[in-house]
Structure 1
Amino acid sequence: MSELLQSLPNWQPYGTPKYFGILILALLPIIIALFFRRRLPIYESLVSVAFITLMFGGAKYQQFFALLFYLVWQAIVVFAYQTYRQKADNKWVFFFSVLISLLPLIIVKVMPAVLGVNSLLGFLGISYLTFRSVTMIMEMRDGELKAVTFWPFFRFMNFMPTISSGPIDRFRRFNEDYLNPPSRDVYLSMIEKAVWSLMLGAFYKFIMAHIFGDILLPKAQQFALHAGGLFNWQTLLVMYAYGFYLFFDFAGYSLFAIGISYLMGIKTPTNFNKPFIARDLKDFWNRWHMSLSFWFRDFVFMRLVYIMMKRKIFKNRNTTSSVAYLLNMTLMGFWHGVTWYYIAYGVFHGVGLIINDWWVRRKKTINKTRKKNGQPLLPDNKWTHALGIFITFNVVMLSLLLFSGFLDQLWFHHFPK
């Protein structure tokens, strides 16, 4: 088996025009069947397995075995908890099940930071598969998910278009799409959206991301490192080049995944919605990596708020939400990796959201007082809106500079000649 995997090519998802050509040809029977409102479950599974296998072919063959181990692990955890939940509901069993489901990801994230080596359990997409399995356990606890069988679980976990980097979907929404193929008119509109997503994704990833990431960013980094110091104006070039590169690269990938999903009759959620025109940080997180931010909002932030309010940890609701913001975003930082700059990125946004909420409340108080005194309200027009966009854009870019890890190189690993 190992020799066979090593002999296969290593195809990174959506990496080359050749990949798209072969993928579209493989999807043609699925597209034709959906045109007649039919599913080809066995063929769809074979296509997903084939492209996932090629994703881990060649030098990355060990990741294929890590994926197999991971799927068995998650199947045992999810179905064991489902069996238990049908009979009882102990919160500690729930917490333990979530922890066991998270354990492979925790090991993969922590080992490089603690031991300096990558875990053999790691593979491309482990974070996004973990979101899927943990969501199922949480929805089983909430009583929203009651009867999951093996094949729908396997189909959901191994859905090829989104397996490596999302967008993050949820089982009930995905399964409803799968079990109810769209009508012909609806599917034709889905194909139209798929074509647009693939074209826009190609523009983002192969043109814009190439310009910012391959041409501008290396030169900006070279200039900034040569200048040295804690900060220099050349680092601003790095900040903007990296920020735009990250957006176009990730948004392009997400558009590819959405386009292929739509061709397969699955309305995978949107991941980016013009994030750089956000008026404030809260608006930004409703536009940036939306499937991730909504997941943390629903399954971390809201639960933290509920627990703290139920136990009356803080008397003030604003204090409760502020602590929840900070914990939620710090956890998101840890999810990206156990390095100081990822964690600082999470804390940065946690503090930013606290300040954002404070200002919204403060503005309401000021306007209430001014209205009572017969004074005009604080201005809220196109100019203040533009100012909000400008400030938010630059705050976000600063946070992405932190996220990039370049400051770590500039401050701690740069030794000028």
Structure 2
Amino acid sequence: MINLQPYENPMYFIYLFVALLPIIIAMLYGKKLHWYQTIISFVFLVLAFGGVKWHEGIALIAYIIFEMVLIGAYFYYRQKVNQTWVFCSAVVLAIIPLIIVKVTPAVYGHPSLIGFLGISYLTFKAVQMIMEIRDGAIKEFDPWLTLQFLLFFPTISSGPIDRYRRFKGDYERKPDPQKYLQLLDKGVWYIFLGFLYKFVLAYIFGTLLLPNVGKMALTYGGISWWLVAYMYVYSMDLFFDFAGYSLFAVGISYLMGIETPMNFNRPFCAWNIKEFWNRWHMTLSFWFRDYIYMRLVFFIMKKKLIKNRITIANVGYLTLFLIMGFWHGLTWYYIVYGLYHAVAIILCDVWLRYKKKHRSKIPSNRFTKLLAIFITFNVVCFSFLIFSGFLDTLFFHNIATLK
């Protein structure tokens, strides 16, 4: 059986174009082929999770059944009783499979049997639904639509992370041929831009440059200009690879009439670290902001655990980015990466408050903005050097060399 990783193989796009052609034609005539979309979703899920990855396919099926039952059970319980402990239990149960998948490699040294590509993003969707059911924002549970939302194949492996109510509106809305034509134009443009990012620029930085630069950095050891070069090359590879993937996912979604939100908005043009997180992996950062940071801050304020608003915000940042670090993996460099960004945002807030207070004394012009962008860019690139784990590799290489 063929196994195709989403957006990794040129053949994947050929199969994709042929499969989407009936949907495109129907949408141009103002019709939606929900039944056909379900069929091709199933086919492409089989292509991604079949063949040599059949065990991931079994894990995906079991996971979806578990989350669907959990969401449905909580919805029907929520209609009768609204108890905090039940809500907290539902959230914990929803994330337990993800916790097991993340912890298993660190504890046992091998991947978890229940892991599969995209489990994190499916978990974010499931938790989001449970929280919005608790808030009363989701007023009815539609098992079929929930299944379509969770298993929307263009975004299943690495996002972007859509919101259920926004997805529901697009899925159920009757298509306007004129509007869809504009959507189709954008979708095709994003796909071609994704090819430039992922198969040209990411290939140059990640395949041609990164191994050689990394080799030279290891050869010279310690802090060297080669290490600085590695930092920049890795940062570019990370961006173009992930942004290219995200453009594919958004572009394919548009072709299917679903306006999946964008994931990147010129992040390296950000003039401070807070602005960077409003531009980088936006659907993830907004998810963490809305469902972790804001709720934690509200809880602290409601229970009056901390009185000072600045301290509350700082506790929120530290908690948020520590969770984000642990989510990436249980290694020191992911956790330090999270703490690094938390401290960077806290310092950014200190600077913004100082700047606001002394506005008349601090110049603001094109040069200062360019300087701010340059500083932010380097702060971010250094965080990606930490994230890459290369410092860990360099350290052990130096130890081995000394022996």
| TM interval, short-chain normalised | over 0.9
1:117 is aligned to 110
Q: Which runs of 5+ in 1 are unaligned?
A: 1-7, 368-375
1:304 is aligned to 296
Checking the alignment, whether the CA contact within 8 Å between 2:218 and 2:397 is kept in structure 1 is no
SS in 1 for 2:358: helix
1:133 is aligned to 126
SS in 1 for 2:249: helix
1:412 deviation in Å?
3.2
Q: Is it true that 1:108 corresponds to 2:101 in the alignment?
A: yes
In structure 2, what is the Cα distance between the partners aligned to 1:14 and 1:180? 28
Question: CA deviation digits over 1:364-416, x for unaligned, max 9?
Answer: 1223xxxxxxxx43111111100100000000000001111111111135523
Checking the alignment, whether the CA contact within 8 Å between 2:32 and 2:175 is kept in structure 1 is no
Residue number among 21, 27, 35 corresponding to 1:42 in the alignment: 35
2:51 corresponds to which letter in structure 1?
Answer: G
In structure 2, what is the Cα distance between the partners aligned to 1:304 and 1:352? 20
* 1:144-223 equivalence runs, <5 A: 144-223=137-216
Q: Is it true that 1:315 corresponds to 2:307 in the alignment?
A: yes
Identify which range, 376-385 or 19-28, moves more after superposition: 376-385
1:389 corresponds to which letter in structure 2?
Answer: I
Question: CA deviation digits over 1:175-212, x for unaligned, max 9?
Answer: 10000033111100000000110010000000000000
Query: What TM-score comes out, normalization by structure 1 length?
Result: 0.94
Residue number among 266, 269, 277 corresponding to 1:285 in the alignment: 277
Checking the alignment, whether the CA contact within 8 Å between 2:31 and 2:175 is kept in structure 1 is no
Q: Is it true that 1:242 corresponds to 2:226 in the alignment?
A: no
2:321 corresponds to which letter in structure 1?
Answer: M
2:8 is aligned to 15
1:252 corresponds to which letter in structure 2?
Answer: G
Checking the alignment, whether the CA contact within 8 Å between 1:181 and 1:265 is kept in structure 2 is no
SS in 1 for 2:337: helix
In structure 2, what is the Cα distance between the partners aligned to 1:171 and 1:412? 45
In structure 1, what is the Cα distance between the partners aligned to 2:224 and 2:67? 47
2:17 is aligned to 24
1:371 is aligned to none
Identify which range, 153-162 or 28-37, moves more after superposition: 28-37
1:237 deviation in Å?
1.1
1:294 is aligned to 286
In structure 1, what is the Cα distance between the partners aligned to 2:174 and 2:189? 21
Checking the alignment, whether the CA contact within 8 Å between 1:34 and 1:181 is kept in structure 2 is no
Checking the alignment, whether the CA contact within 8 Å between 1:202 and 1:252 is kept in structure 2 is yes
1:233 is aligned to 225
1:312 deviation in Å?
1.7
Q: Is it true that 1:392 corresponds to 2:376 in the alignment?
A: yes
- Percent identity over the alignment is 54
1:302 corresponds to which letter in structure 2?
Answer: M
Question: How many residues are paired up?
Answer: 401
1:309 corresponds to which letter in structure 2?
Answer: M
1:357 deviation in Å?
0.6
Checking the alignment, whether the CA contact within 8 Å between 1:162 and 1:257 is kept in structure 2 is yes
In structure 2, what is the Cα distance between the partners aligned to 1:302 and 1:194? 33
Checking the alignment, whether the CA contact within 8 Å between 1:204 and 1:251 is kept in structure 2 is yes
Q: Is it true that 1:407 corresponds to 2:391 in the alignment?
A: yes
Q: Is it true that 1:382 corresponds to 2:366 in the alignment?
A: yes
RMSD: 1.1
Identify which range, 232-241 or 349-358, moves more after superposition: 232-241
In structure 1, what is the Cα distance between the partners aligned to 2:396 and 2:114? 30
In structure 1, what is the Cα distance between the partners aligned to 2:319 and 2:353? 21
Residue number among 65, 84, 94 corresponding to 2:58 in the alignment: 65
Q: Is it true that 1:336 corresponds to 2:320 in the alignment?
A: no
Residue number among 240, 258, 270 corresponding to 1:266 in the alignment: 258
In structure 2, what is the Cα distance between the partners aligned to 1:154 and 1:400? 35
In structure 2, what is the Cα distance between the partners aligned to 1:115 and 1:146? 42
In structure 1, what is the Cα distance between the partners aligned to 2:220 and 2:86? 55
1:412 corresponds to which letter in structure 2?
Answer: F
